[in-house]
């Protein structure tokens, strides 16, 4: 078993907690340099990092929300002088004011270290050829993964997103062994292999680092089968640097969350109270190593749980489950609560289902209508009309079983539904609310 930083990755829990406490004190001290946090903390009786005597004292600190961050646009929450800032990123959210996170040189080095650690945990080495297929702009996935891969010593193809044909050709020419992409893009390029006249045997692919958007275990299996690779879940958010927050090791059994860099709490999004051990809830992060923009108890809205038990890889940092949704992406259809991920999970179980789907919501008289548009595989598409009818009925039944609402299922030809280069847009909500 290879490690990038064995000492810290396998540190006994007791020692990890000591490191967390001293770093938490430093983060509070750092945050007190920002007027926003100084006021907030002072109002709650905290005027120095030393007042945090125990990790449980973190609960004396109020939460930070996305709106707090947005309110600081464009300056951001800055604890160092502007001269110390060497880069800034904004969140990739398509609506509303973006959030700004600034980084010092040390911040960027620490971030690259976390990503390198994540990649090595999956079994990556400097012999790998790494094709980075996500955007290299403000989106943190591109540069974040790039500098981590460089630290591991891999050969990087800094492709950026899009241009699928070239992605596939370069994969072949340069004998790419690891790709980084969103799961939806990976599904998309699978449909383009034939067109690019490339077969799996032309490629040397071994691993895929997939993240930046939610996907189900069934989608992982589908992608692993399509490309004959191992897929590792990669989780991050720009407010916590980007990638390198939590990542799967060779055992692919949940994502190790790097607890020396992030202090994690899981709360009930309604009450703000901690959930019972093992239950799922909203992830709340406190940065433990950041200089420019320390964030305390940041409510990120992603929903997940901590997995029980130790991982056979020897890493002591706890593992989190897949992100099952966001506290704010729940759909309410005819009064019933639905998470889009529930739909994905049941449809991807069917081998006849292809690589893309979309959920459409509309008004229908006084009610609301749920339509699920599903691409089917080339093989299923050439099948007879009766089997397609049967498939449609089965999918509708399965979706209803998962979300209670009966959907209309529409089957589509492979490659006919719209594709996005970045994060997939799975839900089109055309409902008019009066």
CB closer to Zn ion out of 35 and 312: 312
Residue choice 134, 234, 305, 345 for contact with ligand AMP (CB under 6 A): 234
Contacts by 385-393, CB closer than 8 A, 24 or more apart: 391/350, 391/352
Q: Judged by CB, which is closer to Zn ion: 146, or 319?
A: 319
**Given its phi and psi angles, is residue 284 left (phi above 0), alpha (psi -120 to 50 degrees) or beta?**
beta
- Residue 212, contacted partner among ligand AMP, Zn ion, none, CB below 5-8 A by kind: ligand AMP
CB of 243: closest distance to ligand AMP in angstroms? 8
Smallest gap from residue 314 Cβ to Zn ion (A)? 7
- Smallest CA-to-CA distance from 267 within 44, 58, 50, 91 is with 58
Pick from 5, 84, 202, 213 the residue near ligand AMP by CB under 6 A: 213
The residue from 135, 148, 214, 281 that contacts ligand AMP (CB under 6 A) is: 214
Residue 311 binding result from ligand AMP, Zn ion, none, given CB thresholds of 5 to 8 Å by partner type? Zn ion
Binding residue for Zn ion (CB under 5 A) from 100, 249, 370, 424? 249
Contacted by 249, from ligand AMP, Zn ion, none: CB < 5 to 8 Å by type? Zn ion
Enumerate residues 121-160 that contact ligand AMP by CB under 6 A. Answer: 140
Site string for ligand AMP, 309-328 (x = CB under 6 A): --------------x--x--
- Window 294-333: residues binding Zn ion (CB under 5 A): 311, 313, 315
Distances 38 to 76, 284, 369 between C-alpha atoms, Å: 15, 20, 49
Separation CA 210–CA 205 (nearest Å): 14
- Interface with Zn ion, residue 11, by CB under 5 A: no
Q: Which is nearer to ligand AMP, 92 or 176 (CB)?
A: 92
189 makes contact, choosing from Zn ion, ligand AMP, none, with CB < 5 to 8 Å by partner type, with none
Q: Which does 235 bind (CB under 5 to 8 A by kind): ligand AMP, Zn ion, none?
A: ligand AMP
Phi, psi (degrees; rounded to nearest 5) at 151? -65, -35
Q: How far is the CB of 193 from ligand AMP (least distance, A)?
A: 24
Reduce the DSSP state of residue 113 to 3 states and report it: helix
Distance CA 47, CA 41 (A): 7
Specify the DSSP class assigned to residue 308: P
CB 180 within 8 A of CB 141: yes
DSSP three-state, residue 285: strand
Exposure pattern of 209-245 as b/e (b: 16+ CB <10 Å)? bbbbbbbbebbbebbeebbebbbbbbbbbbbbbbbbb
- Residues lying near Zn ion in the complex (CB under 5 A) are found at 249, 251, 311, 313, 315
């Amino acid at each position: 078993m290879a490690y990038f930083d064995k000492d810290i990755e396998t540190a006994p829990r007791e020692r990890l907690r000591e490191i967390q406490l001293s770093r938490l004190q430093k983060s509070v001290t750092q945050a007190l340099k920002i007027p926003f946090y100084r006021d907030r903390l002072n109002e709650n009786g905290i005027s120095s990092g030393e007042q945090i005597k125990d990790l449980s004292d973190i609960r004396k600190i109020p939460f930070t929300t996305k709106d707090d961050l947005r309110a600081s646009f464009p300056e951001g929450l800055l604890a160092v002088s502007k001269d110390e800032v060497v880069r800034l990123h904004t969140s990739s959210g398509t609506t509303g004011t973006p959030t700004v996170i600034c980084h010092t040189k040390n911040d960027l080095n620490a971030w690259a270290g976390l990503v390198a650690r994540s990649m090595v945990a999956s079994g990556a080495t400097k012999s790998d050829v790494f094709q980075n297929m996500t955007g290299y702009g403000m989106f943190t996935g591109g540069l974040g993964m790039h500098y981590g891969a460089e630290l591991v010593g891999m050969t990087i193809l800094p492709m950026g997103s899009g241009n699928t044909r070239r992605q596939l050709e370069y994969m072949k020419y340069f004998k790419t062994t690891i790709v980084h992409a969103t799961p939806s893009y990976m599904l998309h390029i699978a449909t383009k292999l034939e067109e690019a006249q490339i077969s799996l045997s032309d490629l040397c692919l071994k691993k895929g680092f997939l993240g930046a958007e939610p996907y189900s275990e069934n989608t992982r299996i589908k992608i692993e089968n399509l490309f004959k690779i191992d897929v590792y879940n990669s989780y991050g958010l720009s407010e916590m640097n980007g990638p390198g927050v939590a990542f799967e090791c060779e055992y692919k059994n949940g994502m190790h969350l790097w607890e020396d860099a992030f202090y994690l709490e899981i709360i009930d999004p309604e009450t703000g109270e901690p959930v019972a051990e093992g239950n799922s809830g909203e992830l709340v992060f406190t940065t433990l190593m950041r200089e420019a923009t320390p964030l305390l108890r940041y409510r990120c809205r992603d929903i997940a749980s901590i997995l029980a038990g130790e991982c056979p890889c020897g890493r002591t940092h706890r593992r989190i489950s897949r992100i099952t949704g966001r506290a704010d992406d729940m759909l309410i259809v005819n009064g019933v609560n639905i998470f889009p991920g529930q739909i994905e999970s049941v449809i991807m179980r069917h081998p006849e289902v292809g690589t893309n789907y979309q959920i459409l919501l509309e008004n229908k008289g006084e009610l609301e209508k749920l339509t699920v548009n599903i691409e089917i595989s080339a093989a299923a598409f050439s099948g007879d009309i009766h089997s397609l009818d049967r498939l449609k009925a089965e999918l509708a039944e399965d979706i209803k079983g998962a979300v209670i609402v009966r959907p209309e299922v529409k089957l589509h030809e492979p490659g006919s539904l719209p594709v996005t280069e970045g994060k997939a847009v799975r839900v089109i909500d055309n409902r008019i609310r009066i």
